[in-house]
Structures are given as structure tokens and as C-alpha cells.
Amino acid sequence: MKITIRTPGTSANLGPGFDCLGLALDIWATVTVETVNTKRNGPSISRLVEQGIESVFEGIGKAPPVSVDWDGTIPLARGLGASAALRAAGLLAGNALLDNVHDIETLLALGTKLEGHPDNMAPALFGGLQVIVRAGDRLIHLGAPLPPELQVVVFVPDFEMPTQESRRRLPKQLPREDVVYNVSRAALLVTALGASRFDLLDEATQDRIHQPVRSEIFTGLNPIMTAAKQAGAVASYLSGGGSTVAAFVTDNAERVSRLMTQTAIAHGFSGRSIITKPTGQGASLSDG
């Protein structure tokens, strides 16, 4: 049996929404899963897909051996949700092999367990801007409205910034004023996006929890964010755990893209910029 899945890249945190905000982007990975007679050792990306399949089969039966192929569209370890996309593809493939025994909320719970946090998995499965809350053993998520004219420019550096490594550097405790700072801006961000208040997005994407620490690892972060806003972006932030830098734009996307790349190179960081936009579509089985 051969199954093809399309999954979107995602951008998490969006500045202040650490582990609770995620956005699906119009950058798509195509993953093909085919059942085979004998398991073969594949590349590391195959293991991520296999984890999704095995998770779906857990408690039901033994997952069949599969071969995995994907187009590599979403760069790995760059803060664009590649691991969530691949695991989501595995979840959908495994569920298809089981005649869709699980509903999508169960797939979200299984995927979050694999990822360790839901901020990429929720938009990968559901699309759009997702607000995700842990409530005991439950995951509550809700899609939030977005302005139709919103675009996202991402600068993708050539160097990897593994999420777990950058998370280890995060502070164990935070002052109350920093917590209030982030909570208020996360609330403002969702509200401002829904109201198309682009003038508020710069303030709404400010963060004191993770970006200051991660900017010590990625010294080009602040200069690139500054350049994006000087070029016309309404806001800029570190996408997920990095190393990708994202910018919200309504126009001047080409100029923002160019200046982000030029500034990165001037600070010793090669890479490329991509002009994209949010997508309301999540992972799905492809007819192709």
C-alpha cells in the first residue's frame, strides 16, 4: 500500500507565545509511505515518520515495515516545524493503514507526546493560527482569525539550531514582570491579528522568555529582525527554536526578503529568504 501525505511547515511561538501559539505556512512537504516486506534502515527523517506510524499502532497491533520518501522542502532543525510535519505525516499514514480508527484530536495528542510540545503539531494538523492550551491530560486548541493580506517572509540560515539544545539554555524561573510582559503581548498578538491592527504587531511580538537567550546562540537574530522592520515588515521574531527568522509583512515583501538576507550575510550568516503566507490547510492525504 502506498500513501502520500502533504504537510505544511509551521512557525511557532510568534515571539511571546512560547509553546502555545503556532502558525501553518504555505510551505509544503510531500511524504510518501509505502508498506514493504522487509524493514530497511533509512535516513533520520524516515525515523520521524515511522514514529508517527508506530504511535498510531500502539495498543492496536504491530506497525508494518515501510519505506519513506519525502521532497525535503521544509529544512530540518531550522524552526519551521520539519519534525512535526514528518511525524504528522506518519500519524496520518498510520491512521490510513488502520482505516482511520483515530480521530484527529487523538492524532494531536499522539503527535504532541512525540514532539514534547503542541505548538507545531497543532497547526501542522489543523492549519491556520492555532492557540493551544494544556489542561491536565487534555489539549485545548482553537483556530484564530488572520488578516487575508498577511504575508510571512522567512530567512532560513544555513546552520542548524536544534530545538532541544536551545531549550536547555532557557531560564528555569522567570521574574513576575517578565511573565506578565509575555502573557499580555501574546493576548495582544492574537487580538491584533484578528482585528488587522498591523500597527500593534511589533509590540505584540516582543518576548522576554526565549528570544534573549537564543540570540546569544544566534548573534545575527536581532540585526536581522531590525533589518526586516526597517525594510517595511510590521513585526519580526524567531521562528520556533530557530534558526529561521520570520517577519510579518503586508507589502514590500521583496524588499524585506532582500534586506534580511543582506543583513544576515553582513553578520556572517549565509542562507536564503522565502516569501510565503499563512495557510488554513493542515496535513492531508494526497490524491497524487
Pick from 280, 209, 241, 31: which is nearest to 116 by CA? 241
In this predicted structure, what is the pLDDT of residue 287? 67
In this predicted structure, what is the pLDDT of residue 40? 65
In this predicted structure, what is the pLDDT of residue 43? 67
Residue-range domain boundaries for the chain: 2-144+279-285, 151-276
End-to-end CA distance of the chain: 14
* Half-sphere exposure of residue 265: CA atoms within 13 angstroms, side-chain side: 9
CA dist 233 and 255 (Å) reads: 9
Domains 2-144+279-285 and 151-276 share a fold: no
pLDDT averaged over consecutive 10-residue blocks of the chain (288 residues)? 96 96 97 86 81 96 92 91 97 97 97 96 98 95 98 95 72 92 98 98 97 92 98 97 95 97 97 98 86
Across-strand partners of 134? 139
In this predicted structure, what is the pLDDT of residue 217? 87
**Residue 131 CA: distances (Å) to CA of 8, 174, 200:** 17, 22, 19
Burial of 72 (0-12, 13-18, 19+ CB in 10 A): exposed
In this predicted structure, what is the pLDDT of residue 100? 96
Exposed e or buried b per residue across 239-260, where buried means at least 16 C-beta atoms within 10 angstroms of its C-beta:
bbbbbbbbbbbeebbebbbebb
Find out if CATH 2.60.40.10 is the number for domain 151-276: no
- Residue 93 φ then ψ, to 5°: -65, -45
Read off the C-alpha cell for 191: 487580538
Put simply, whether the predicted model's pTM sits higher than 0.75 gets the answer yes
In this predicted structure, what is the pLDDT of residue 41? 63
Find out if CATH 3.30.230.10 is the number for domain 2-144+279-285: yes
